Structure 1
């Protein structure tokens, strides 16, 4: 989502471009030509080339023939956040508890523009499906955590988000009608939980609840997910909602005791 806040005078445009180039790589674009990268980040080929040369020199990007790819050093950027925020000790205990209780998988995510970003994950699952690994990004409208996070937005900010987003159908069941999506988010806002079935990928049924900061604002979402066909949305609500809410409350209490962690996660 475009940030309309005026940029400060000290804003470093070259750094912003370099980060945009790094963010342009994903599971569907793991290697790209210069022109492909330039199109994805809306840069001129010359500007994209300067960023790529710098990133290559620093060890974050590699090149094979005419195609660029990320190098393992990029992982140090994510691990710096993970360890500085003590994500493991804060969240993994609760995620493990949920999985040990119900099986399947559990994750925590935050909202970034039109996507959710997974900041913690624990799973016993090994099947081929959308990968819920730390750092993964998925369209918010197609995930139960995304809908919880959207429901936690101020109504006017949500309306701006909805007006600017372009919903993509990831399966035949993905809700892409904006009016229907607005209705779904309003329902989540009223009940304070969300379920989705086969919205992000076939075979994923999930239940999510909000994690609230000290001000009561939703700053993250916690989910429990299973395989469609083996568990229904109604079963998740009946069997897991109470425990999920308790876990979210315990995470919130941990955040209250560590304001810096809340600031990092909820920024």
Structure 2
């Protein structure tokens, strides 16, 4: 067992794009990585745990953590560290600067009422989708989804819609970064299969993901396009794999839901 007083051998930290530029502030980037080490469900973390998550030495991490405590973004009981609500201001700064979430909220609200299902909107951030708007009618997933929740793009319907909207160069960059992890036995985890599906999604204009993110969960997504035809976001609705209350099978359910989802996506695009 590692002695608590022994410094772990830090993992080489991945280079951030632009890190070699004279304009790149490495200490600032590392501070942000320390914040990002606190993932959903991680709760409070010890100094050693944050060091392991970031790949930086305990001495380096200690300075960043105590700086964040001083600034009010972190709290500590002397042994563990945890984020404070103030860190949400970083995300709200983005949302406040964008008109899209404001446009999407009432559209998703109306869509959820019409479908009787939860609806969401997301954008692509690196290899993940990030939720920017959410209307929940009932909880299907084990993980609670809120604005700011992230999931791997390859395993979600919205993520695949967003990936299908990328250029070939952007897709190449995505596949160079992504690490495929099987979230369920049904998850697509290879580039060739995913590329083939993205071609189909571009042609049909929608995506169904069936239990690839979580067993028992299906989701149907469509793109939100701006007036120039560019994909700027995606919206989806969730469906349980349990028998529809009215006895409809999956194809019938898609036939019923898809036109309403597409109409909402078109409305959001025209209003953005």
Pick one of 21, 29, 32 that aligns with 1:19: 32
- The residue that corresponds to 2:148 in the other structure is 135
- What is the CA–CA distance in structure 2 between the aligned matches of 1:152 and 1:44, rounded to whole Å? 39
2:23 aligned residue:
10
Give matches, 1:1-267, under 5 Å.
Answer: 4-5=17-18, 8-86=21-99, 89-127=102-140, 129-231=142-244, 233-255=250-272
Structure 1 unaligned runs (5+)? 256-267
Total equivalences in the alignment? 255
Shift of 1:109: 0.3
Q: Which runs of 5+ in 2 are unaligned?
A: 1-13
1:126-150 deviation digits (Å, cap 9, x = unpaired): 3552322100001111100000011
CA positional deviation for 1:39: 2.6
User: Deviations along 1:87-125, whole A, 9 cap, x unmatched?
Assistant: 553111110111111111100001111110000000111
Q: Is the 8 A contact 2:224 2:235 kept in 1?
A: yes
Greater mean alpha carbon deviation, residues 94-103 or residues 182-191: 182-191
Residue 6 of structure 1 and its aligned partner are, at CA, apart by 6.4
Q: Distance in 2 between matches of 1:245 and 1:25?
A: 36
Cα distance in 1 for residues equivalent to 2:164 and 2:228: 16
TM normalised by structure 2 equals 0.85
Larger radius of gyration: 2
Moved more, 193-202 or 222-231: 222-231
Could you say if the C-alpha distance between residues 189 and 6 of structure 1 is closer, same or farther in structure 2, counting changes exceeding 3 Å?
Answer: farther
Q: How far does the alpha carbon of each residue in 1:158-207 deviate from its partner, in whole angstroms, 9 at most, with x for none? A: 13322331111111111113322222222112212100111111221111
**Structure 1 residue runs of 4 or more that deviate by more than 4 Å after TM superposition:** 5-8
Cα distance in 1 for partners of 2:27, 2:15 equals 18
Alpha carbon RMSD of aligned pairs, Å? 2.2
Q: Give the helix-richer structure, 1 or 2.
A: 1
Deviations 1:36-88 (A, max 9, x none): 21232232322222211110111111123422111121122223333443555
The whole-number CA distance in structure 1 between the counterparts of 2:271 and 2:215 is 35
- Kept in 2, the 8 Å contact 1:207–1:236? The answer is no
